[in-house]
C-alpha cells in the first residue's frame, strides 16, 4: 500500500512538473486538425464494404455523444453511399501530414516524461512520427470498425451466411477482445519508440495498458455525461459538437501523456534499484 501511495505521489509531482494538461492540449489541437483528413481516409474505404448508412449512424450514436455524431451525419451518409477514390488519396496525404505533427508533439511529451533531450536528426524524428501515425491510424480503424461497426458487419455476414447463434456470440466477444489487444499493442509500440532512449519493449506495457483502459472508460463516461447532462448545444449552438470533440481529444491527450509518465517513473525506479544493487 505504501508503494502504491508513493508511486501516486510521484506521478502527481511529475504531472505538475511536466505540465501534462498543456501537453494534452497541444496534442488535442493537432489531432483536431488531422480529424477531417482522417475521416476522409476512413470513410472513403467504407463504401466498398456495402454497409447500411442508417444502421451505421445508429451504431455510432450509441457509442459516441449524440451531438458529436450529428455533426458528421451528413458527411458520413454521403461518403458511405458514394465510392470516391480521389478522396482516399487526399485523405491519406492529409492524414499523414497533419496527424504526424500531433504524433511529433507526443514524442516531445515522451522525452519530457523521461527527462531526456531529443538529439535525433529532424528527418529521423519526422519519419518516426509518420510511422507511429500509421500505427495510430490502424488502431483507430480497428477501434472504429470492430466495436462501432461490428454489429453492422455481423449482420451483413449473417445475411449472406446463416450463422449459428453460438458463432455470432463468439464474433461479438472476439470483436471487442481483438480490438483491445490491437489497440494495446499499438500503444505499447508508441511508448517504446517515442522516447529518445533504448528501452526494453516490456517497459512500455504498463503505460499502454493504462492508456487503453483509461481511453475506453473515459470515452464511455464522457459519452454518458454529454448525452445526459452536458447541454453544449444550448451554450455553443452549432459549435457544440466541435467543443465536445476538442474536450475529448484533450482528455485522450492527457491519458497518453500520463501513460508515458507511468512508464518513465517505473523505468527510473528500476534503473535506480539496479544501480544501488551493483554499487
pTM across the whole model: 0.73
Report which of 37, 111, 142, 117 is spatially closest to residue 79, judged by C-alpha positions. Answer: 37
On whether residue 9 sits in a domain, the answer given is: no
Place 94 in a pLDDT band, splitting at 50, 70 and 90: low
On whether residue 278 sits in a domain, the answer given is: no
pLDDT digits (tens, 9 = 90+) for 4-13: 888 889 999 9
CB 266 within 8 A of CB 206: yes
pLDDT digits (tens, 9 = 90+) for 55-82: 555 655 554 555 555 555 555 565 555 5
On whether residue 223 sits in a domain, the answer given is: yes
pLDDT at 133: 79
Nearby residues of 218 by Cβ (< 8 Å), 6 or more positions away? 251, 252, 255
On whether residue 229 sits in a domain, the answer given is: yes
On whether residue 275 sits in a domain, the answer given is: no
- Overall domain count for the chain: 1
Place 47 in a pLDDT band, splitting at 50, 70 and 90: low
Flag whether pLDDT at 44 surpasses 80.
no
Lowest mean pLDDT among 24-33, 42-51, 161-170: 42-51
The CB-based long-range contact list for 71-80 (8 Å cut-off, 24+ gap) reads: 71/241, 71/242, 71/245, 72/39, 72/241, 75/39, 75/43, 76/43, 77/53, 79/40, 79/43, 79/44, 79/46, 79/47, 80/43, 80/46, 80/47, 80/51, 80/53, 80/56
Phi, psi of 218 (to 5 degrees): -65, -45
On whether residue 5 sits in a domain, the answer given is: no
pLDDT at 135: 77
Nearby residues of 16 by Cβ (< 8 Å), 6 or more positions away? none
Phi, psi of 48 (to 5 degrees): -75, -10
Nearby residues of 170 by Cβ (< 8 Å), 6 or more positions away? none
pLDDT at 259: 94
CB 70 within 8 A of CB 134: no
Buried b (16+ CB within 10 A) or exposed e, 122-137: eeebbebbeebbebbb
On whether residue 58 sits in a domain, the answer given is: yes
Domain housing 47: 17-266
pLDDT at 265: 93
Flag whether pLDDT at 33 surpasses 60.
yes
List alpha helices for 144-204, DSSP H: 150-160, 165-193
On whether residue 80 sits in a domain, the answer given is: yes
Amino acid at each position: 500500500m505504501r508503494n502504491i501511495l508513493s508511486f501516486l505521489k510521484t506521478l502527481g509531482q511529475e504531472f505538475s512538473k511536466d505540465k501534462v494538461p498543456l501537453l494534452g492540449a497541444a496534442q488535442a489541437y493537432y489531432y483536431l486538425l488531422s480529424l477531417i483528413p482522417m475521416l476522409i481516409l476512413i470513410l472513403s474505404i467504407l463504401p466498398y464494404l456495402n454497409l447500411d448508412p442508417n444502421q451505421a449512424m445508429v451504431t455510432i450514436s450509441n457509442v459516441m455523444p449524440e451531438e458529436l455524431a450529428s455533426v458528421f451525419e451528413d458527411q458520413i451518409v454521403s461518403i458511405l453511399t458514394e465510392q470516391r477514390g480521389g478522396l482516399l488519396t487526399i485523405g491519406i496525404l492529409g492524414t499523414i501530414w497533419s496527424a504526424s505533427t500531433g504524433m511529433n508533439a507526443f514524442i516531445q511529451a515522451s522525452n519530457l516524461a523521461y527527462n531526456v533531450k531529443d538529439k535525433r536528426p529532424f528527418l529521423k524524428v519526422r519519419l518516426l512520427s509518420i510511422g507511429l501515425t500509421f500505427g495510430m491510424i490502424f488502431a483507430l480503424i480497428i477501434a472504429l470498425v470492430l466495436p462501432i461497426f461490428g454489429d453492422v458487419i455481423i449482420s451483413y455476414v449473417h445475411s449472406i451466411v446463416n450463422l449459428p447463434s453460438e458463432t455470432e456470440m463468439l464474433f461479438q466477444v472476439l470483436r471487442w477482445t481483438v480490438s483491445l489487444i490491437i489497440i494495446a499493442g499499438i500503444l505499447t509500440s508508441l511508448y517504446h519508440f517515442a522516447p529518445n532512449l533504448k528501452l526494453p519493449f516490456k517497459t512500455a506495457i504498463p503505460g499502454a495498458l493504462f492508456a487503453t483502459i483509461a481511453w475506453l472508460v473515459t470515452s464511455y463516461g464522457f459519452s454518458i455525461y454529454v448525452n445526459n447532462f452536458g447541454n453544449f448545444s444550448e451554450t455553443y449552438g452549432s459549435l457544440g459538437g466541435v467543443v465536445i470533440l476538442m474536450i475529448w481529444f484533450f482528455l485522450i491527450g492527457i491519458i497518453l501523456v500520463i501513460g508515458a509518465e507511468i512508464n518513465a517513473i517505473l523505468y527510473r525506479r528500476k534503473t535506480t534499484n539496479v544501480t544501488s544493487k551493483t554499487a
